[in-house]
Amino acid sequence: MSYNGFKTNDMFGPKPVEVGKEYDVQITELSRKGDGIARIQRFVIFVKNGKVGQNTKIKIIQVGNRFATAEIVSDSESIQSQTENTPASADANTEASSE
C-alpha cells in the first residue's frame, strides 16, 4: 500500500543501523525511562543501562521506524582501565611466582 508514492512502512527512509550489528557510540542523554540515548546520523538509539558521557560499543536489538534499541557490548572506558591495570597485575604475579 502506498501513500503519496511512498510505501507506508518506508516513510521514514532507510535506517543507519541494522539488527545484530555493533556500533561505537557516545551516550548523550537519558530517556524518561532511564536508558541512555545515542544517535547515529541523527537516528535515535535507546541504550539499556547507558549513562550520559559514556563511550561504548553497542549491539542493536531492534529497529523501528523512528528509533532503535540496543544493549552495551563493551564499555571502552572499562576496557581502557582494564588494560591499564593488566600490566601491573601481571608484574605482581611474576614477582610472587619467583619468590
Q: pLDDT digit string (tens) for 2-29?
A: 455 545 445 678 999 999 999 999 999 9
Question: Which CATH number belongs to the domain containing residue 85 in this structure?
Answer: 2.40.50.140
Secondary structure (H, E, C), the chain:
CEECCEEHHHCCCCCCCCCCCEEEEECCEECCCCCEEEEECCEEEEEECCCCCCEEEEEEEEECCCEEEEEEEEEHHHHHHHHHHHHHHHHHHHHHHHC
pTM: 0.67
The boundaries of the domain holding residue 80 are 2-98
**Rounded to an integer, what is the distance from CA 27 to the centroid of its chain?**
8
Which pLDDT does position 30 carry in this prediction? 97
Task: Assess contact for 38 and 27: CB atoms under 8 A.
Answer: yes
Please give the residue that has the higher pLDDT: either 32 or 96.
32
Q: Total structural domains in the chain?
A: 1
- pLDDT tens digits for 49-96? 999 999 999 999 999 999 999 999 987 655 454 445 555 545 545 555
